[in-house]
Amino acid sequence: MNAPQPITSKTDFQTDEDWWRGAVIYQIYRRSFQDSNGDGVGDLAGIVQRLPYVASLGVDAIWISPFFTSPMADFGYDVSDYCAVDPMFGTLADFDAVVETAHDLGLKVMIDLVFSHSSDQHPWFKESRADTENDKADWYVWADAKSDGTPPNNWLSIFGGSAWHWDARRCQYYLHNFLASQPDLNLHTMAVQDALLDIARFWLERGVDGFRLDTINFYFADKLLRDNPALPLELRNDRIAPAVNPYNHQLHTRSKNQPETLGFLRRLRAAMNPYNAAALGEIGDAHRGLEILGEYTSGDELMQMCYAFEMLTGGRPTAKYISDVFVKIEEVAADGWACWAFSNHDVNRHTSRWELSEPAKRMFTTLLMCLRGSVCIYQGEELGLEEADLDFDDLQDPYGIEFWPEFKGRDGCRTPMVWTGSNQNGGFSDAAHTWLPVPSEHLQHAVAKLEAEPDALIHHYRYAIALRHAYPALALGDQSKMTVEGNVLSFTRTLGNEKMFCAFNLSDEPAQAKLPDGNWMPAGENVNSAIAGAAGLVNLDPWQPCFAVMNNNLKGVSDG
């Protein structure tokens, strides 16, 4: 039996201000998306060229990694001018073309703002470091050395070593939670907050629809600069930093996650509201990520959505693990809104990280589109790209260079998109050499090749995204408590009169599920949904889902 036609649409339940709720966001790592001028680096004009492809996937929005003027020590996450486009990526006119083209295609545009730190080449920092009396002397986090000349406290940098760097001009240390060339801004100074809000307004006036906020929980450090406590060995994990990084030896209660963050987020939300803009915050914390997510997204005065790293690291999620995450969400963030992703520019691609078979890739894609929250997918995951294995000489990421070979950094997930299989650069660039090499094994996953294969993963992404859009309950509805029976995860999503039953066999073995009581009709035919038999029993093949819909607007269908 064919699935019933949806009775309602997502937009029937959604105001323009809520466009972000339940949205599917496509992350574009602009250095590696499309090179339009042959210099081996992706750019804004290249994004314009490829936006019709992005729209064809059915996504709602794009998130573009930083394209601002930068020395590129951390590839754009070290900003030296927040209101200008780095010439490597084009011009402000090129950015305007991105916004115009995206909007014409029905896509919202989110850009990546880095407010916790700047580049040491930013004019603000150059003035701040000059002496202790200038107008921007307190725009960064400065502190005197201890009496023995050592740093003011024990805080560590995510990129290795002390989070403090000595500056001979001021004869003081400055804080850097990342590279030494990324000094932390001091948001305790209201003039800094005002300047950052002006930056947000600048881009909102140019038509952006929202922001991805880098390291949102790093905006404030403890004003008294007290030490972080040690973290017991049994509590350490590599969710935020690799296991070989001593950053994991501390509980970072002082160097980030400060209560003053909420006040700034309220100011940012007030600046965004007139534009119907939305924000997605990145929460980097190995222990309180979901709690902070709840704190930062609760109510309508803070951020609309945040993501933590529960689904971005570690081994393949089991049915129990996913259920436990949502139990925790209900406990600490019931009034908040999560955004879920399995891959992004900071972690190994999940196809490799979880060692997924082809059926498993499809199942996790389908599952992602059914979870309560919004969704991010990372460029190339729809092609099934695996983590690239690069030689040390090819590395660009300072993080990987520092901890090689135990940790190879983030370059393996940042290699260029493959559009065609016809040349060594996969249609990404005409350059003799690209900023990162295109792995030869990726060419078989090129967009042009997969588009011509009816059963390719790229089409499954389209089907799964279309399923989410077809049934508003999947994007916007309440989610029941998850049920775990062996390797089968099941739950229902409900919005208005629409109720959707979802079950997923997360294993290589056949399994069985049972529909709740009621009159259900099958759904999800295009994503290989199993159909219930007698007494509502569903036989699930390995890595197979089951979807069934109950809608009180359908004649003959009742809650039962």
Q: Are strands 488-495 and 483-485 parallel, antiparallel or unpaired?
A: antiparallel
Question: Looking at residue 556, what is its pLDDT?
Answer: 33
Please give the Cα distance from 481 to 492 (Å, whole number). 8
Residue pair 90/96 in contact (Cβ under 8 Å)? The answer is no
Is pTM, for the whole model, over 0.85?
Answer: yes
Q: What is the CATH number of the domain that holds 43?
A: 3.20.20.80
Q: Which candidate in 112, 214, 285, 386 is catalytic? A: 214
Sequence-distant (≥ 6) Cβ neighbours of residue 275 within 8 angstroms: 204, 209
Is residue 485 flagged as an active site residue? no
Assess whether the previous peptide bond of 259 is cis (omega < 30° from 0). no
Residue 160 lies in a domain: no
Residue 171 lies in a domain: no
Residue 126 lies in a domain: no
Residue 442 lies in a domain: yes
Residue 329 lies in a domain: yes
Task: Tell which residue, 18, 38, 42, has the closest CA to residue 28.
Answer: 42
Residue 547 lies in a domain: no
Sequence-distant (≥ 6) Cβ neighbours of residue 93 within 8 angstroms: none
Please give the Cα distance from 226 to 521 (Å, whole number). 59
- Domain span holding position 326: 20-118+189-466
Question: Looking at residue 242, what is its pLDDT?
Answer: 83
Please give the Cα distance from 75 to 94 (Å, whole number). 19
Residue 536 lies in a domain: no
Q: What is the mean pLDDT of each run of 10 residues along the chain (560 residues)?
A: 49 79 98 98 98 98 98 97 98 98 98 98 98 98 98 96 97 98 98 98 98 98 98 87 91 97 98 98 96 97 97 94 98 97 97 98 98 98 97 91 91 97 92 96 97 98 98 97 98 96 98 95 96 93 97 42
Question: Looking at residue 553, what is its pLDDT?
Answer: 53
For the chain, what is the domain count? 1
Q: Which candidate in 282, 291, 295, 498 is catalytic? A: 282
Residue 549 lies in a domain: no
Question: Looking at residue 559, what is its pLDDT?
Answer: 32
Is residue 148 flagged as an active site residue? no
